[in-house]
Structure formats: C-alpha cells, structure tokens
Structure 1
Amino acid sequence: MRESKRTKILTAAVEVVQRDGVTSVTFDSVAAASGLTKGGLLYHFPSRDALLLAVHQHVAREWEESLVEAAGKTAEEATPEERLEAYARVTSRSVTRAELLLFLEASVNPGYAQPWRDVTDRWAPSLADAASGPAALTHFITRLAADGFWLYESLSGEPTSPELRRKVVERIAATIDKDA
C-alpha cells in the first residue's frame, strides 16, 4: 500500500526531531526530509503548530498500536491488569531520541500533551486510581517502575542488554496482581 503524503510528512518530521530536535521542525526542514514542497506541507498543515500537534498525535498513535499488539486486544477489550502489563512491556523498550524530545515538549505544552494523555488514560493507572485501595496502589507503583525504567534508559546513556531488559520487564510485570 502506498504511503499517504500526510504520513510521509509526519514520518519526515519525526526524522527531523530525531536528528536535530523539536525546534528544528520547520516547513523547510520537513519539506527537505520528505521530498515534498513547502506548499505541499502547507496543504496538509496550515501552521507549524498544526504540524507539531499532528506529529505528537502520530507518535502517540504508533505507541498505542504497540500497546494493542502487546495486549493482543484494544484497551476497551482488555482488563486493567492486561492493559497495565502491555504498558509495562511497551514502555520497557528503548526509547528513541525523537520520542523523548516529544515527551519533553509535551510536558510544557498542554495541547501537545493531550494525545499522550489520551493513550495513558486508556492503558495505565492514574494517580487518582492509586487512592482507591492497596491493589490499585500496587498497580500505580508498577506504572511508575515501567515509566522509571523508560526514563532511566532515556537519560542515563547506559544501554541495557536484552537479557537484563527481559528480567527487569518480567519483574515489573510480576507485580501486577492478576486476580485483583
């Protein structure tokens, strides 16, 4: 199936973020990376802000597709424990520079944060959930462990071997009370 121009633009924008950072995403840089004209980009995205929002939505959608694949079902079909286990497994993979930079950008821009929040709201327990009882608190701590592993790898510069990664993920997943 042929890649749509919109998808081609978003993929190119992610490549620009990966290579040069979020501030380097301009119509000129994305046009050069995608092989399209600046006018072609403007047809799909009337402003840089619209382009960046679409990039966040695009990467968040890819993240959710990974969650669905890990769970073997959609968030609506999965139990809370199945959603959390998928979340722990997916967040344990090595993060790309682009993902990290987009997450950081979203932390200071509520509009960019919304696509990520929508995904985490479907798949991971929230702080508010943690107050509803001991099992919910354990599930929230499991989320924090998965998020912490993701962040550790993102910022430490120390790659984790596949064997250690597997052990860490299994230990995190083992904290989920599947009978809760």
Structure 2
Amino acid sequence: MRQSKRTEILHAAQHIVQRDGVTAITYESVAAEAGLTKGGLLYHFPSREDMLLALHEHVAGQWEACMESEAGAPYEELTPGQRLDAYIRASQNPDRAELLLMLESAGDPAAQAAWDTVHDRWSPPPPRGTPDDADVPGRAAGVDPDLLPFLARLAADGLWFYEALAPGHFTEAQRSTIVEAIIRLGAGEHTQT
C-alpha cells in the first residue's frame, strides 16, 4: 500500500530530526528530503508549527505502536502489568528523533499532549503520596510495594535515555538481562543476593 504524501512528509521530517536535530526542520529541508516543492508541503502543513505538531503526534504514535507490538495486543486488551512490561521492553529501542522531539515538547503544551497521551495509557502514574506508616505490609527494604511499578518506569526511562545518548554500550544479552530485571522490579519480584 502506498503511503500518503502527508505520511511521507512526516517520515522525511523525522529523518531530518534523526540526522540533524529539531532546529533543522524548515520547509526547505523537509521539501528537499521528501522530494516535494515548498508549495506541496504548504498544502499539507500551513505552518512550521503545524508540521512540528503533526510530527510529534506521528512519532508518539510510532512509539505506541512499538509498545503494542511488544505486548502482542492493543492497549485496550492489556492489564496494567502487561502495559508496563511492554513499556519496559520498548525502552530497549531508543531513537534519537524520538528523544529530541520529547525534549523539545517540554516547552510546547500541544506537543507535550501527544507524548502525555501515550505515557498516560502505557505507564504507571507518579505516586500521589506515600504512607506515613513505616510498617506497610509487604514493604521490602523500606520501599513501598505500590511504588515499584513507577520505579520500574523510571528505570526503563533511564535505560532508554542511556541507550539513546550512549548507544552500543550493551550487548543484546546484557540489555535483555537489564530489561528482565526492570520487569521483575515492576512486578514486585525480588531476588536475594
């Protein structure tokens, strides 16, 4: 099936971000990368801001598709634990364009919303508060077990950032071991050392 011109443009813009960064996105650079005229680009995206917002939505959608692929099912059919597992597994597939766009979205509420939608669906939310009672049943080494899924999310995010910024430091076996350890953390499983 042939891709739509809009999708081709977004892929071209994503390739530019991957290679040259977000600031390299101009009508001229995207038109050249996509093999279109500037007028052809303006037809689909009346402003650079429209193109960037569509790019955020497109790449966030790819990220969600990656998690669905890791899970083997759509979001709606998964338990919170299965969604967290998919989120963690997707963290071993960093993408420079994804990283740069996420960082760039921090100053743009509309762009941030594209990423927040995916985060809210797939990862556990930050804790709303911690109990004052130190004798919470199931507490291991002073960590509230209710915090473990969120801690696993933070560990997965850390792996993703590390791999995006310093690729090639782990073998596939090392990465797999780390991912499985993060999944066990999120499930509340502990191993004795």
Count of matched residue pairs: 178
1:1-180 equivalences in 2 (<5 Å): 1-93=1-93, 95-128=94-127, 131=130, 134-156=144-166, 159-177=169-187
Superposed displacement of residue 91, structure 1: 1.3
Does the 8 Å CA contact 2:145/2:188 hold for their aligned counterparts? Answer: no
Identity of matched residues, %: 49
Deviating above 2 A after TM superposition, structure 1's stretches of 4 or more consecutive aligned residues are 128-136, 154-159, 176-179
**1:104 maps to amino acid:** L
Does the 8 Å CA contact 1:85/1:173 hold for their aligned counterparts? Answer: yes
Superposed displacement of residue 109, structure 1: 1.7
Would you tell me which structure has more helix in proportion to its own residues?
A: 1
Q: Secondary structure at the match of 2:8?
A: helix
Q: Secondary structure at the match of 1:176?
A: helix
| 1:22–1:58 CA distance, 2 compared to 1 (3 A) | same
Q: With the length of structure 2 as denominator, give the TM-score of the two structures.
A: 0.86
**1:153 maps to amino acid:** E
Does the 8 Å CA contact 2:148/2:188 hold for their aligned counterparts? Answer: no
Query: Equivalents in 1 of 2:104, 2:126: separation in Å?
Result: 22
Does the 8 Å CA contact 1:142/1:173 hold for their aligned counterparts? Answer: yes
**1:116 maps to amino acid:** W
Superposed displacement of residue 130, structure 1: 7.0
Q: Deviations over 1:49-84 (max 9, x none)?
A: 000000010000011011111111122211000000
Superposed displacement of residue 157, structure 1: 5.1
Q: Deviations over 1:96-138 (max 9, x none)?
A: 2211111110122222111111001000011146759944311
Query: Equivalents in 2 of 1:130, 1:103: separation in Å?
Result: 26
| 1:152–1:117 CA distance, 2 compared to 1 (3 A) | same
Does the 8 Å CA contact 1:68/1:74 hold for their aligned counterparts? Answer: yes
Q: With the length of structure 1 as denominator, give the TM-score of the two structures.
A: 0.92
Cα RMSD for the two superposed structures:
1.9
| 1:76–1:178 CA distance, 2 compared to 1 (3 A) | farther
**1:138 maps to amino acid:** L
